[in-house]
Structure formats: structure tokens, C-alpha cells
């Protein structure tokens, strides 16, 4: 059995930005060669220097991928497979680099030691450091030499552990295409909001308005942990969307936080830990322009809501083997402005707010000032939500697989009422049999697969 383990480090979110590659060649479970190269990425900005410690000065005089590949491509041929930890990432980096340099991606199949660790040994979470801890493999995480070596050692353990025939087990860990998108709400209400979206490669969290204890407990139900998260995006700075203690955990786990540039000052003013994130380069400020995290192309768009710095929804698009998929979401919406529906058109998953029932709000013990604020700039009523949904659906050429109703008020609404008002209005206006799910303050029972 011959294989090479590889590991890429990238400079930015684009797949063609490899700045280092490690290669470990293994024959009959003996390491024959360890080799690594620095690569000059196509762009000067090095977003991930804080992770891998490789800076522009280190790579600016190194060969580009196009220059390097002819010297290293022989490692990828005449072997049984290529191993990588989270192979869909390394495969997509190699593919993007080959594509942009005009080379063919080697036909050799990839096998993922991350999937392998779950399938064979039931290790969760399954990041490289977790698996290395499990096996006492020495690791200097994000050092390309160490990461590649660790991946090779994990694969060697698998080859030792698994009895013949190995093929059946191995088939499960082949990565020859990317799979779909999954989504899970950890809860949505004024008590806290957080949504997880992930594919085989990246896990992103939209808002983090729960305690660390709650997050850990709930995430473990779907076999995830906080340090599985690759990026956290926030919609606005209200406490039901950001938890200060959780931000400290993100700093510790090196999980970057993304927020719209308009929110930056208010975010830093309110949260000491956001200032720390900013200082160490882990607060990423985004604009209205699309940006990428793994396969996800993300665009933030402004929505009205009474929060300083503003409030943002997200449109998240991914090209999957089943075609282009889109999630559009806004958890808090003060009112619907003209043209707002444009951000939600052609979605496969929609999430919009259906906060309150007008009568229940009027009859609640809240002050008139608060009632007016909620109605005018705070949150959408069930009726307003259904009208917004109607406009979105009327202008879209497809029906979403699911519509999630977010931020349902505990005091001034019920799940049943929100569902009824929206369902009835939409079916009276030509949209019957929609899959509408009102979100709970607690997590969704099942992960939604797109
Ligand atoms: Zn909120
Ligand atoms: Zn809010």
C-alpha cells in the first residue's frame, strides 16, 4: 500500500491561495519521505497568518503553485490514494490551484482521516488536534510539516487497525465530491439566537446569543463542539445574539468573528472581548460585498432594527453537487422596506422573523413606549411576516425547501399562532403546502439537510 498524506495552508478564503504544502510519502506503513514547500499565493493579503504563522515576507520570494507543481506532481501518481485530514478542503485547494495554473487535478482518490476517525474510532470532535490527543500523536497544529505528519500517522494507524478487507471501510472515507449543506437552529427567541450551518468542510455559526454551557450541551446532541466552528457571524449587538463569555471562548479556540463594518465600533464599545478579538486580528470586518468561507459565498445585507450600528441579514450560497443552494436569513426585522425582498429571492432555505401577534402585544403588560418601539422599529408581526413571505415567494421562481420563522415572542405570540397566520395567508394567496417551521427558544429536533 502506497499513499501520500498532504496538508495545505492557505493565505485567504479563496481556494487558490495555498501558501504551504506538506507531503509525507508512506509505503507499506513506513514513512519514506517528508517534504514541504512554501508557495507564493496569488494575493498579498494573508488572512490566516495568525493561525499558521506564515507571512507575506516568508512567501513573497517563493515559487507560485504553477512554478512548483511540475516538480512535485510525481508524488501524486502511482500511489493508492492521497490522505488528508478534512480531505474535501485539501482536495478543493489542490483543484483550485491546478485549475488556475492550467493543470489537471491528479485522478488519484482522496481519503479523509477526519471521516476515518469518526467511522473507525468514533472520535468527536474530529479536528486534527482532537484525533492527535486521542492517539498521543505529537502535534504542532497548523504547522504544515507537523499537520501532514500527523495525518500520515492517523492513516497508518487505520491501516494497522482495520482487518482485511479494508476496502469497505475505506470507501466510506473517500472524498471525491463535496456533499450538501446542513442547518440547525440552537434556538431563536428574545432569550437567545444561534444558527449553525455546515458542509463537509466548514461550520459557520450565525449569532451566538447563548451561554457557553448551553452551547456545549446542545452541540453535543449533534456530535459537535464549539471548537468545531470555523467562523461566527453576527447580525447585531443585542445580548440575545452575542454572549460575552462565549466570545472569550472563541478567542481561546481561535475562532474568528465576522461582523459588518458598520457594527464594528458599537460592538467593540459594548464587548471588551470584541476589542481583544480585534487586537489579535480575529475580528473580520465585512462590507456589503460577498466574501467566502470555504464553499460558502456570503453576503451581508442591512435590515432595520433598533440596535446601535444596525442589524444585518445573511445570504449564503454554496455550489453543491446537487446545484447551487441558497440560504437567506434575517432573525430580527424592524419593518419591511421597499425592495427588501430582493435579498431573499430564490432561496432554498428562508429564515424570517415572525415575532408577535398584534393583539397579544397590545394586551401585554409592556409599556406603550415599548409597544410602539417593537411595532415601529423592533420586530415583525405575524401579519407583516406573512406579507413579506408572500412578496418573496411571488418574485421567486422556486419554492424554498423550508421556511423557518424566527424570534417568536414568548409573551406576545405562540408557535401555533405564528404558523397559522403565515400558512393561512400564504395558502389564501396561492402558496399551499409550504414547509413552514416556527423555531423554538430551544434547539430544533433534527438537523435540516439541504
Ligand atoms: Zn433579537
Ligand atoms: Zn435585536
Q: Which ligand is nearest to the CA of 236?
A: 2
Ligand 1 center to 101 CA (angstroms): 46
Q: Which ligand is nearest to the CA of 409?
A: 1
Residues sharing a CB contact under 8 Å with residue 191, sequence separation 6 or more, in sequence order: 240, 410, 441
Distance set, CA 73 to CA 20, 214, 223 (Å): 15, 47, 37
Ligand 2 center to 186 CA (angstroms): 17
Distance set, CA 385 to CA 41, 216, 406, 449 (Å): 46, 32, 10, 24
The CATH number assigned to the domain holding 141 equals 3.30.420.10
Ligand 2 center to 307 CA (angstroms): 6
| pLDDT tens profile 124-181 | 778 899 999 999 999 999 999 999 999 999 999 988 876 554 555 555 555 544 457 8
pLDDT of residue 297: 95
Are 235 and 160 in a shared domain? no
The last residue of one of the domains, among 107, 140, 175, is: 175
Q: Which ligand is nearest to the CA of 331?
A: 1
The last residue of one of the domains, among 152, 175, 198, is: 175
Are 234 and 253 in a shared domain? yes
Burial class for 213, CB neighbours closer than 10 Å (0-12, 13-18, 19+)? exposed
Are 270 and 157 in a shared domain? no
The CATH number assigned to the domain holding 323 equals 3.60.15.10
Q: 415 and 440 in contact (C-beta within 8 Å)?
A: yes
pLDDT of residue 179: 56
Ligand 2 center to 442 CA (angstroms): 18
Which residues have beta carbons under 5 A from ligand 2 (an ion)? 238, 332
Ligand 1 center to 235 CA (angstroms): 9
- Specify the pTM: 0.68
175: number of Cβ within 10 Å: 23
Are 25 and 132 in a shared domain? yes
Are 213 and 97 in a shared domain? no
In whole angstroms, what is the distance from residue 5 CA to residue 149 CA? 7
In whole angstroms, what is the distance from residue 335 CA to residue 256 CA? 30
Facing residues of 431 across strands? Answer: none
Ligand 2 center to 238 CA (angstroms): 5
pLDDT of residue 299: 98
Q: Which ligand is nearest to the CA of 334?
A: 2
Give pLDDT < 50 ranges for the chain. Answer: 165, 176-178
Are 437 and 355 in a shared domain? yes
pLDDT of residue 92: 86
Are 52 and 140 in a shared domain? yes
> What is the domain extent for residue 390?
182-449
Ligand 1 center to 146 CA (angstroms): 43
Residue 241 has which C-alpha cell?
445574539
Ligand 1 center to 297 CA (angstroms): 24
Q: Which ligand is nearest to the CA of 188?
A: 1
Ligand 2 center to 380 CA (angstroms): 12
Q: Is 285 helix (H, G, I), strand (E, B) or coil?
A: strand
Ligand 2 center to 406 CA (angstroms): 12
Q: 413 and 356 in contact (C-beta within 8 Å)?
A: yes
Q: Is 76 helix (H, G, I), strand (E, B) or coil?
A: helix
Which residues have beta carbons under 5 A from ligand 1 (an ion)? 240, 332
Residue 15 has which C-alpha cell?
481556494
Element holding 296 (H helix, E strand): strand 296-303
Q: Is 98 helix (H, G, I), strand (E, B) or coil?
A: helix
Residue 239 has which C-alpha cell?
445580548
The count of domains in the chain is 2
Ligand 2 center to 304 CA (angstroms): 10
In whole angstroms, what is the distance from residue 226 CA to residue 224 CA? 7
Are 223 and 142 in a shared domain? no
Q: 412 and 364 in contact (C-beta within 8 Å)?
A: yes
The last residue of one of the domains, among 127, 143, 175, is: 175
Q: 436 and 403 in contact (C-beta within 8 Å)?
A: yes
Angle at 269 between CA 263 and CA 274, to 5 degrees: 75
Q: 233 and 199 in contact (C-beta within 8 Å)?
A: no
Are 170 and 194 in a shared domain? no
Amino acid at each position: 500500500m502506497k499513499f501520500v498524506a498532504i496538508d495545505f495552508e492557505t493565505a485567504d478564503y479563496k481556494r487558490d491561495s495555498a501558501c504551504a504544502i506538506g507531503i509525507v510519502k508512506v509505503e507499506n506503513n513506513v514513512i519514506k519521505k517528508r517534504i514541504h514547500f512554501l508557495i507564493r499565493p496569488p494575493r498579498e493579503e494573508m488572512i490566516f497568518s495568525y493561525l499558521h504563522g506564515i507571512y507575506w515576507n516568508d512567501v513573497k520570494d517563493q515559487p507560485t503553485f504553477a512554478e512548483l507543481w511540475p516538480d512535485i506532481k510525481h508524488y501524486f501518481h502511482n500511489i493508492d490514494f492521497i490522505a488528508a485530514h478534512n480531505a474535501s478542503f485539501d482536495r478543493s485547494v489542490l483543484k483550485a490551484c491546478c485549475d488556475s495554473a492550467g493543470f489537471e487535478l491528479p485522478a488519484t482518490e482522496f481519503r479523509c482521516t477526519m471521516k476515518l476517525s469518526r467511522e473507525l474510532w468514533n472520535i468527536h470532535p474530529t479536528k486534527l488536534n482532537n484525533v492527535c490527543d486521542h492517539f498521543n500523536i505529537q502535534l504542532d497544529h497548523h504547522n504544515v510539516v507537523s499537520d501532514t505528519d500527523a495525518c500520515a500517522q492517523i492513516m497508518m494507524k487505520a491501516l494497522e487497525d482495520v482487518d482485511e478487507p479494508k476496502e469497505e471501510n475505506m470507501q466510506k472515507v473517500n472524498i471525491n465530491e463535496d456533499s450538501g449543506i446542513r442547518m440547525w437552529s440552537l434556538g431563536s427567541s428574545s432569550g437567545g439566537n444561534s444558527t449553525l450551518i455546515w458542509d463537509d468542510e466548514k461550520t459557520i455559526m450565525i449569532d451566538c446569543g447563548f451561554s457557553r454551557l448551553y452551547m456545549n450541551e446542545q452541540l453535543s446532541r449533534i456530535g459537535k463542539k464549539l471548537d468545531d466552528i470555523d467562523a461566527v457571524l453576527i447580525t447585531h449587538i443585542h445580548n440575545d445574539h452575542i454572549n460575552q463569555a462565549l466570545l472569550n471562548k472563541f478567542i481561546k479556540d481561535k475562532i474568528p468573528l465576522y461582523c459588518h463594518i458598520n457594527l464594528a465600533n458599537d460592538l467593540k464599545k459594548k464587548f471588551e472581548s470584541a476589542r481583544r478579538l480585534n487586537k489579535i486580528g480575529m475580528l473580520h470586518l465585512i462590507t456589503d460585498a460577498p466574501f467566502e468561507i470555504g464553499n460558502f459565498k456570503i453576503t451581508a445585507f442591512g435590515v432595520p432594527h433598533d440596535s446601535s450600528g444596525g442589524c444585518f441579514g445573511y445570504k449564503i450560497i454554496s455550489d453543491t453537487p446537487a446545484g447551487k443552494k441558497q440560504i437567506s436569513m434575517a432573525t430580527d426585522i424592524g419593518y419591511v422596506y421597499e425592495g427588501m425582498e430582493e435579498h431573499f429571492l430564490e432561496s432554498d432555505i428562508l429564515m424570517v422573523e415572525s415575532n408577535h401577534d398584534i393583539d397579544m402585544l397590545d394586551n401585554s403588560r409592556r409599556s406603550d413606549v415599548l409597544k410602539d418601539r417593537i411595532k415601529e422599529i423592533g420586530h415583525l408581526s405575524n401579519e407583516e411576516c406573512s406579507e413579506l413571505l408572500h412578496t418573496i415567494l411571488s418574485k421567486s421562481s422556486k419554492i424554498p425547501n423550508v421556511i423557518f420563522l424566527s424570534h417568536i415572542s414568548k409573551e406576545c405570540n405562540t408557535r401555533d399562532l405564528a404558523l397559522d397566520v403565515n400558512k393561512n395567508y400564504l395558502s389564501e394567496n396561492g402558496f399551499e403546502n409550504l414547509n413552514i417551521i416556527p423555531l423554538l427558544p430551544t434547539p430544533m429536533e433534527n438537523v435540516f439537510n439541504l
